[in-house]
Amino acid sequence: MRSRCSDVLLFSLFVATAFGTNVARAQEADEKSPPDKGVRALMVTGGCCHDYQNQKRIISEGLSQRVGPVAWTIVEYGTKRDIKAEIYRKGDWIKGFDIVVHNECFGGVEDGSFVKGIVDAHIASQVPAIVIHCSMHSYRNAPTADTWRAFLGVTSKRHEKKKRSLKVLPTDAGRQSSMLAAIGASWDTPNGELYIIEKVWPRTKVLAEVQSDETGKAEPVIWTNVYKGTRVFGISLGHHNETIQSDVWQDVVAAGWKWSLGN
């Protein structure tokens, strides 16, 4: 079902990568990827402030190259903060998927039941999630915002004013984790927008941090969370395309993908 809003662009891109061959074809938003094409992944993207038209390609292609065959269903919505993604309106929207990548920026959505429904679908199905950058700032004005934040694993409502290269340092937990092998002792991002983390939720394990010039504190930027049995891998880095297309970012998210799926 297409959104009634004239400013919402909704489409789905199916990408299956197998043995180094990329196959792409148009697909209706409510059509699920065939089960014989590898991991069935949904990416929900769109909203304000970011180049989602290119990010959806950079992320999906990069992950497919690193994790093996992936059958992608990608739905992108417009450029406003208050869009309620049409796919979430379907009660069984998560059915048929093995993992969901949330790369959305819908901070103006205030419908509490709508937001709670997104989390409830993950919990009921135990389908894991990758949450990227502005997903942490999405739904922050909804009455049920803490349900979303508990699912993400962190609470964040703002970012540093200055864009800059960020020195990413593994925590003790991160140094013990193979997920951060690509970072090594540290990683200076090509560019960055640092999110200020107000709260780390109880089941969250912070893997990497960046020292904030504004708060003077080490702000979490990479973490894992297990919320009511559902695995969530989070990374707040990802405002700029030059960051997400870097090998380090791609390798770390691919490792988070494998952890989310229990591999």
231: CATH: 3.40.50
- Name residues whose C-beta falls within 8 Å of residue 172's C-beta, 6 or more positions apart in sequence: none
Lowest mean pLDDT among 3-7, 38-42, 179-183: 3-7
Instruction: Answer yes or no: are the C-beta atoms of 156 and 107 closer than 8 Å.
Output: no
- DSSP, res 33: P
Expressed as residue numbers, the domain containing 68 is 11-158+221-260
Is 89 a domain residue?
yes
> For the chain, what is the radius of gyration of the CA atoms?
17
Is 4 a domain residue?
no
Is 245 a domain residue?
yes
- DSSP, res 216: S
Is 58 a domain residue?
yes
Is 166 a domain residue?
no
Is 164 a domain residue?
no
Beta strands per DSSP E along the chain: 11-18, 21-27, 39-47, 70-76, 99-105, 129-132, 154-159, 167-170, 187-188, 195-200, 205-211, 218-227, 230-235
Instruction: Answer yes or no: are the C-beta atoms of 22 and 30 closer than 8 Å.
Output: no
What pLDDT does 8 receive?
35
pLDDT at 26 over 50: no
Is 21 a domain residue?
yes
Show the DSSP H helices in the chain as ranges: 52-67, 112-125, 145-152, 172-175, 241-244, 247-260
pLDDT at 18 over 60: no
Is 2 a domain residue?
no
pLDDT digits (tens, 9 = 90+) for 108-129: 999 999 999 999 999 999 999 9
Residue 19, sorted as left (phi over 0), alpha (psi -120 to 50) or beta, turns out to be left
pLDDT digits (tens, 9 = 90+) for 163-205: 999 999 999 999 999 999 999 999 999 999 999 999 999 999 9
Quote the CA–CA distance of 198 and 201 in Å, as a whole number.
Answer: 10
Domain total in the chain: 1
